[in-house]
Amino acid sequence: MRRFLLLLLLGSAGVAPALADYNASGRFLYVDREFNQTGFTGVEPQLPIRFADVQVVEGTKIVGAGVTDGQGNYAFRVQDTRTRDIYIRCLARRQSTTALPVDVRSGNQSGDIWSIRTQAFLSHAPAQDLFTGTLVATPGAGGEAFNLLDTAINGGDYLQFLRGTGTAPLLIVVYNASNPNLSSTSGSTITMANNGGYDDTVILHEMGHFVVNNFSHTNNPGGVHHLSDCNQNIMLAWEEGHATAWGLSVRRFFNMPHASSYVRTTGLLGPGNLQFYFDVETQLPFVCRGATSETTVYAALWDLFDGPGTTDESPGVEEPWDMLQGQEAPYWKIMTQYLQPTMNISLEDFWDGWFQPASANGRLPEMISVFRNLGVEYFPDTFEPNDQVTEARLIFPSAALLHQTYFADRNNDLLGEPDTDVFAFDAAGGTAYSIETFNLLGDANTSLELVATNGTTVLASNNDRSANDASSAISYTPAASGRLYVRSFHAADYGIYGSYDLRVTTVGAGVDADGDGFTSDTDCNDNNPAVYPGATEICNGIDDNCNGAVDEGFDRDGDGYTTCSGDCNDVNLQIHPGATEICNSIDDNCNGAVDEGFDADGDGYTTCGGDCNDANPQVHPNQAEFCNGIDDNCNNLIDEDFDVDGDGYTVCGGDCNDANSQIHPNATEVCNGVDDDCDGLIDEGFPDTDGDGLKDCVDPDDDNDGVLDALDCAPLAYSMTHPPGEIAETVLQPVGSILKITWDLVPETNVYNLYRGQVAVDSAWSFQSICLTAETVSTSLVDAANPPPGYLYYYLQAGSNLCGEGSLGTGTGGSSRPETLPCVPQGRDTDLDQVADLIDNCPLVANAGQADADRDGRGDACDNCAAVANATQADKDANGIGDACQDADHDGFTADVDCRDDDATIHPGAAEICDLKDNNCDGSVDEGFGTGAVCAVGVGACLRTGTVICAAGGSTTTCSATPGAPQNEVCNGSDDDCDGLVDEGFDQDGDGYTTCGGDCADTVASVHPGAVEVFNGVDDNCNNVIDDVIEQVVVTLATYQASNSRLTVEATTNYPLGSVTPFVVGFGPMTWVPSASVYRLVVTTPTNPGTVTVTSTAGGSASRTVTPI
Amino acid sequence: MRRGSAVALVALVLLGLSGAPTQLSGAPKPALPVSLSPATIEPTLPLMIDLRLTGQRSGAQGGVARLEVSLDAGASLAEAVLTLVLPEGLKAEDGPLARGLQTSLRGGEHREYVVPLNARRAGLFPVRLHASFRLEDGRTYETNQAVLLRLGVRVPVGRSNAGAYEFMGVPLQELSR
């Protein structure tokens, strides 16, 4: 009571923090792997993780929980009060009280649940919403587990379809890399093979066992069983065949592709990787007959459920013998009602259950059709009734096989009864007779007796012909003539039905030429040891078992052709060898060709497929229409759409552009870049200055100088595109009493105008420039004139080309410098090469051809770098070789890009090293080394800072600082001894908390901040409060029995017995029941309250839905 | 009329031995205890193959491993042909399986083979064993078994925490790249 009061006080004082909610949301997917009969297809879609638990985790505590929806999305509120380091995880677990709950566990039956998780969210604030985006479980990292979960959920939903909504036992699926490579089921636990994580049909098969274990009954002895074994234990055959049929029915129920295919893979990544497959519709490739084969069982059950619309390997087609579908309801009733109390359960019991009066499912002809096709003959044979000597059927000894079934139904109620077959024959004294059974099917474990004429004395008998042969054989020679009786009955084992062949024959002098144990009078081929009565019939075109039929069981559609005799579709009787091929896109006659004979020209189109000329392979539907006077594409139009522009000319009539009516063979050629007259020439007869094939009228750059004509002031002269630029630098150099004026060469300029002006020394400047020299071809000039006293001369220069004269520069304030007397064109030809200086790319060197290989505007005859374009003729070292052609240090980089052409270690692209130089010529020094940045050395209290500097050698840097000296460690939250550890040695109990870090008992590991508080009289979590435990109430039971209006509620609490009293809200206090260790309240109330809430005096509370009983 | 007395006797003895419920009749019940039948095993072929890798060692130039092959014949198998299929970069030392094994097995026969493997590089190596065989009745089947050899490649490992075996989820946008 003292503890309770303390909590109340804390609450009333407002010390307890208020709850702060946040939303957690996101989505979880897994990678699926689709498959077909070749194994994995390589298609790997991302599917939602449905209905799975989602948890918010802090360390080892769950602080919030929710569930994904059908699309893998989750969103739930989390109540919290503290900032925490958390993450969110999605578990391969579906919890449900109305559908099948599933756990996919790792390790073992009680192992951990597979899950995928998010990254950690550090210091998450309690009111901060959390969205985790979409996370995917991938193969090898949880994908298999979530695929198993998803498949099991589908199985659970199919189970719910069969039985309706209700609670179901937990299905535990154990998946782990250390599992065996075979899957198995025991009770409610499926252990999946280590390579079966994506084998959906395997887990569904195992779920079939789970369903039987929990909702029906089985006598399956279990263990390994082989699909090719046609003589299995009949109870095993039933249970295993049922499991396969049930599993694939799940896929059929959800219309999944290849629903009839069971596929087992090796589990490896990538397409293919098939171990084996089989098809339950056709049984292929494991074909057996009779109820002692699981392949027969699953094929029979499948035929009860499937229909033409089933997504199997032959959609839209159903076998002629399968006239049933959608029989889930009677099937489930048999499984859950008839078979539950039954013993030695096999397909025989399922048949009997079908026709039980309580079931009365009827449809006998359809059932017989389905079952007989699989060698299961649960109906009386043609000799019935012949159960006793008085009913014995008289026969005559011969080689004929008499087909029998151990199925009696004397009262015609369709339920089978143990059957005895009795025959009579008139024996001759002294003649040897052989009485034998052959071709046993479906657990027809025969036993024979030869009975004397009196009808009671047994003259001879035989149960098994040999240790491994359940057929029977009697040889007997009567001393006297008389009527004898043969009695055949089912030997005692687990089944009572089955079918077999009986033969009574005289033993003659026949020989056994092939040594197969049968003489020629009974052996239908005594030259082939593989052929004899009782041999297994295989599809080979001969009568292997001497029953008079060839390849029986291998012509299911009854069209007279077996699969081994060429029937390429044994479920469609219209398709077989010899059938008439009709034009229907199907290989009707099984010759490997489709619609042969209907495509004479071999163009891939038949006459029924629309080929309008089956003698011309170039004519057929989907063919392009050509302009050739015929209907190429079989659309009943000839050369349609070949004069689209309506100019009177078709494409095949010479119109080279059928989209433009101005273009045709008789049009006039105009200069427009188009072949107007369709003569194969474009703009013929019009000028092409640069000879590039584009006439000037359409060439955007007539002189091919790279500048569009619209922007080129000399569009027909490639060496100039705009007026000369301003002269960069002028040097005035007095030479004795004269002045030499030198200026830089201007690109695209061959001649220069030099102006001189005169201004008074003591007056303001006023430009009055007059032309001193016009169109000089030099870049220097000597002026011998001297200004008058009190004046000075100024000089201005400008280049001149076809586009005009360059600027003389601007004066103060940006105004142009006026020319009082402009220079005028001279028209000189200095080098006398017949090219005026103004446009001569080498005005001082005769070059009439104006050759300019690098097209930089400077003729080769005077270019200081003739092979490389260098319009400025830059030559930094003035050695006559242009920088663009000079690599003095032979480092592979010319002087125009090499910032140090005298140092081979320095050039563009060189590795920058830490040496205070620009090694790679990028304009930066020691970039990338971070020199000058702040740096630190030492840890803990020894930490010191400095700056980054180059280290010796230039490859690395170092810090200019020196670390401090370590001190002795004390408990202060610091690393005093600079060893990277804080307060080491001050956590004696090793619980992760030091004394100065809040550990209130450093000798007790269970006591520390954050520990879970329990009732022990100790402040476990060091919050200075002892045993402040939060009460946890759990409602363990809530039921309402309508028949007596009784509401029963049971609950538990983690508070000690007697310290609290739980109440059912609205119904009263609960009482402690020692025998059940719960608090219980039983009251009578007229209606089911739906939900009950239990509150406790210590503050705990919980609710639960009331279950009607 | 159903099973005869002899059959029922057999069933009773079996049920008594196995401890299974012996209820033989009565009204159907909505819920049943789990049947205590023996563990069931998935369908198999008459030739079961188990492959295991042991002794994996990785080095700078690849690595080595031992492939342990066990064969169990559930029926007499003739003309059994077993072929080891190895990827580029992985070789098997000479031996029966490395050369391609043609043999016959008796029903119930168990065999084991060991194949030393050498890899020229690190990586993932799918090791496959293809088998074909013929049954006594003439039917022929084939199957495969495989195992993944990892040399110098980290295996994704989960961790157990608070009742769950956790793997890091892959953000969808990373998977799309």
CA B55/CA A116 separation, integer angstroms: 31
Does residue B7 carry a pLDDT above 60? no
Chain A within 8 Å of B19 (Cβ-Cβ)?
Answer: no
Chain B within 8 Å of A133 (Cβ-Cβ)?
Answer: yes
CA A444/CA A501 separation, integer angstroms: 10
Q: Minimum mean pLDDT among A266-270, A756-760, B4-8, B76-80: which range?
A: B4-8
Chain B within 8 Å of A165 (Cβ-Cβ)?
Answer: no
φ, ψ for residue A354 (rounded to 5)? Answer: -60, -35
Partner-chain contact B164 A112, CB within 8 Å: yes
Chain B within 8 Å of A217 (Cβ-Cβ)?
Answer: yes
- Of A171, A170, A154, A173, the closest CA to residue A162 belongs to A154
How close is the nearest chain A Cα to the Cα of B43, in Å?
6
Helix (H, G, I), strand (E, B) or coil at A969: coil
Q: Are A700 and A690 in contact (CB under 8 A)?
A: no
Token representation of residue B143: 């199957």
Instruction: Look at residue A509 in the predicted model and tell me its pLDDT.
Output: 53
Partner-chain contact A137 B4, CB within 8 Å: no
Nearest to B39 among A142, A184, A225 (CB): A184
C-beta atoms surrounding A110 within 10 Å: 9
Placement of tokens 């001569």 in the chain: A840
Amino acid at B78: A
Instruction: Look at residue A302 in the predicted model and tell me its pLDDT.
Output: 97
3-state DSSP: chain A helix, strand, coil percent, rounded to 5? Answer: 15, 25, 65
CA A406/CA A389 separation, integer angstroms: 17
Report the pLDDT averaged over residues B61-76: 94
Partner-chain contact A135 B48, CB within 8 Å: no
Chain B within 8 Å of A60 (Cβ-Cβ)?
Answer: yes
Chain B within 8 Å of A62 (Cβ-Cβ)?
Answer: yes
How far lies A168's CA from each of A100, A161, A215, in Å?
Answer: 5, 13, 9
Chain B within 8 Å of A958 (Cβ-Cβ)?
Answer: no
Q: Are A1104 and A1091 in contact (CB under 8 A)?
A: yes
CA B161/CA A57 separation, integer angstroms: 10
Chain A within 8 Å of B11 (Cβ-Cβ)?
Answer: yes
For B23, the closest chain A residue by CA position comes to A341
Chain B within 8 Å of A426 (Cβ-Cβ)?
Answer: no
The residues near A684 (Cβ < 8 Å, ≥ 6 apart) are: A669
Partner-chain contact A115 B165, CB within 8 Å: yes
Partner-chain contact B28 A340, CB within 8 Å: yes
Tell which of A53, A340, A387 to mutate to test the B interface (max B CBs under 10 Å): A340
CA B59/CA B151 separation, integer angstroms: 8
CA A651/CA A640 separation, integer angstroms: 11
Assess: ipTM above 0.90.
Answer: no
C-beta atoms surrounding A1105 within 10 Å: 12
Counting every residue, how long is chain B?
177
For residue A781, the Cα-to-chain-centroid distance in whole angstroms is 81
Partner-chain contact A141 B156, CB within 8 Å: yes
CA A168/CA A80 separation, integer angstroms: 34
The residues near A494 (Cβ < 8 Å, ≥ 6 apart) are: A219, A233, A234, A235, A344, A346, A443, B7, B10, B11
Chain A within 8 Å of B175 (Cβ-Cβ)?
Answer: yes
Q: Which long-range contacts (CB under 8 A, 24 or more apart) does A968-977 make?
A: A971/A995, A971/A996, A972/A996, A973/A997, A974/A940, A974/A941, A975/A939, A975/A940, A975/A941, A976/A940, A976/A941, A977/A940
C-beta atoms surrounding A923 within 10 Å: 8
Instruction: Look at residue A6 in the predicted model and tell me its pLDDT.
Output: 33
How far lies B109's CA from each of B72, B73, B145, in Å?
Answer: 6, 5, 18
Partner-chain contact A228 B10, CB within 8 Å: no
CA A589/CA A570 separation, integer angstroms: 12
Chain B within 8 Å of A141 (Cβ-Cβ)?
Answer: yes
For residue A668, the Cα-to-chain-centroid distance in whole angstroms is 63
The number of CA neighbours under 13 Å toward the Cβ of A133 is: 11
Burial (0-12, 13-18, 19+ Cβ within 10 Å), A36: middle
Helix (H, G, I), strand (E, B) or coil at A934: strand
Placement of tokens 């006598």 in the chain: A219
Q: Are A422 and A432 in contact (CB under 8 A)?
A: no
Helical residues (DSSP H) of A917-1072, grouped into ranges:
none
Q: Indicate the DSSP class of residue A76.
A: E
Q: Tell me the chain B residues in contact with residue A266 when contact means C-beta distances shorter than 8 Å.
A: 128, 144-147
Instruction: Look at residue A16 in the predicted model and tell me its pLDDT.
Output: 41
Tell which of B1, B90, B128, B165 to mutate to test the A interface (max A CBs under 10 Å): B165
Q: Are A336 and A214 in contact (CB under 8 A)?
A: no
Chain A within 8 Å of B36 (Cβ-Cβ)?
Answer: yes
Partner-chain contact A266 B35, CB within 8 Å: no
CA angle A36, A38, A39 (to 5 degrees): 70
Tell which of A344, A413, A414 to mutate to test the B interface (max B CBs under 10 Å): A344
Partner-chain contact B35 A61, CB within 8 Å: no
For A337, the closest chain B residue by CA position comes to B28
Q: Are B11 and A218 in contact (CB under 8 A)?
A: no
How close is the nearest chain A Cα to the Cα of B93, in Å?
23
Instruction: Look at residue B35 in the predicted model and tell me its pLDDT.
Output: 45
For A110, the closest chain B residue by CA position comes to B163
Tell me the torsion sign for CA atoms A294, A299, A303, A306: positive
Per residue, the 3-state secondary structure of A312-372, as one string, reads CCCCCCCCCCCCCCCCHHHHHHHHHHHCCCCCCCCHHHHHHHHHCCCCCCCCHHHHHHHHH
How far lies A216's CA from each of A209, A213, A335, A345, A734, in Å?
Answer: 10, 6, 5, 11, 122
Instruction: Look at residue A707 in the predicted model and tell me its pLDDT.
Output: 86
- Of B10, B18, B5, the closest CA to residue A221 belongs to B18
| β-strand partners of B115 | B67
Token representation of residue A623: 């063919």
String of b and e for B152-169 (b: at least 16 CB within 10 Å)? beeeeebeebebbbbbbb
Helical residues (DSSP H) of A757-832, grouped into ranges:
none
Q: Tell me the chain B residues in contact with residue A107 when contact means C-beta distances shorter than 8 Å.
A: 165
Q: Are A142 and B158 in contact (CB under 8 A)?
A: yes
Partner-chain contact A202 B148, CB within 8 Å: no
- Of A242, A280, A274, the closest CA to residue A261 belongs to A280
Q: Indicate the DSSP class of residue A731.
A: E
Per residue, the 3-state secondary structure of chain B, as one string, reads CCCCHHHHHHHHHHHHHHCCCCCCCCCCCCCCCCCCCCCEECCECCEEEEEEEEEEEEECCEEEEEEEEEEEECCCEEEEEEEEECCCCEEECCCHHHHCEEEEECCCCEEEEEEEEEECCCEEEEEEEEEEEECCCCCEEEEEEEEEEEECCCCCCCEEECCEEEEECEEHHHHHC
Q: Are A875 and A881 in contact (CB under 8 A)?
A: yes
Q: Are A551 and A562 in contact (CB under 8 A)?
A: yes
Partner-chain contact B165 A111, CB within 8 Å: yes
C-beta atoms surrounding A1107 within 10 Å: 13
The number of CA neighbours under 13 Å toward the Cβ of A380 is: 19
φ, ψ for residue A134 (rounded to 5)? Answer: -110, 120
Q: How many CB pairs below 8 A link A and B?
A: 249
φ, ψ for residue A862 (rounded to 5)? Answer: -135, 15
The residues in B 90-119 lying below 8 A from A, measured between CB atoms, are none
Instruction: Look at residue A643 in the predicted model and tell me its pLDDT.
Output: 78
Counting every residue, how long is chain A?
1109
Residues of chain A falling short of pLDDT 50: 1-18
CA A1028/CA A998 separation, integer angstroms: 18
